[in-house]
Amino acid sequence: MIWVSANIIIPCFAAGTLGPAVFELDLNNSFVTIIIFNLLGTLPIAGMACFGPASGLRTMVFSRYSWGYYGASIMSIVNVMSAIGWAAVNSITGAQTLRVVFNDSFPITVGIIIIAIITMIISFIGYKWIHIYERYSWIPVFIGYCILAGVGAKYFTNSEMVISINNEEV
């Protein structure tokens, strides 16, 4: 459940809207594309994670067997950069959400600081408690997404979006 909670977030939801908005896919094709590429992206990592309990090594350390010391170091640096990037994206979207909740009277910078402090506190409580938190934190977000889908369902269409571009913009 930890990966469900980690990925049921606003940036992932927004990434799911790129199919119709950018690539002009209909709802069915977008849905199938999201499922297939999520499986392609997560199955290799899930397979590597299965070796962790058996070997006692974390995934990045275990990758030394297939990548070598220097290759694993490069992959670890890419992993750190990815984590920092997603932390920034999540902090900014969390701050934007706080701003919307408080009717645009909430500064974005204060929201980013609040989200960063909450994230830091959660990270300090330990791995066991993070798992407990993640086990249940997806539930209110999922309920919110269901409400969002219910309210917006009358606007859902299964046709390709047409994007018009003015010649002046090009």
Q: For each of the chain's 170 residues, which pLDDT tens digit applies?
A: 566 667 777 777 777 778 877 888 887 888 888 889 888 887 887 777 787 778 887 777 777 888 888 988 898 899 899 889 988 988 998 899 889 888 888 899 999 999 999 888 888 888 788 888 888 888 888 898 889 888 888 877 666 555 556 655 55
Closest alpha carbon to 2 in 105, 122, 163:
122
Q: What pLDDT sits at residue 169?
A: 53
Q: What pLDDT sits at residue 72?
A: 84
Domain ranges within the chain, ordered by starting residue: 29-164
Q: Which helix (H) or strand (E) holds 132?
A: helix 127-152
Q: What pLDDT sits at residue 117?
A: 93
64, 72 in Cβ contact below 8 A? yes
In a 3-state reduction of DSSP, which class is residue 117? helix
Closest alpha carbon to 1 in 139, 140, 148, 149:
139
Query: Does the reported pTM lie above 0.85?
Result: no
2, 131 in Cβ contact below 8 A? yes
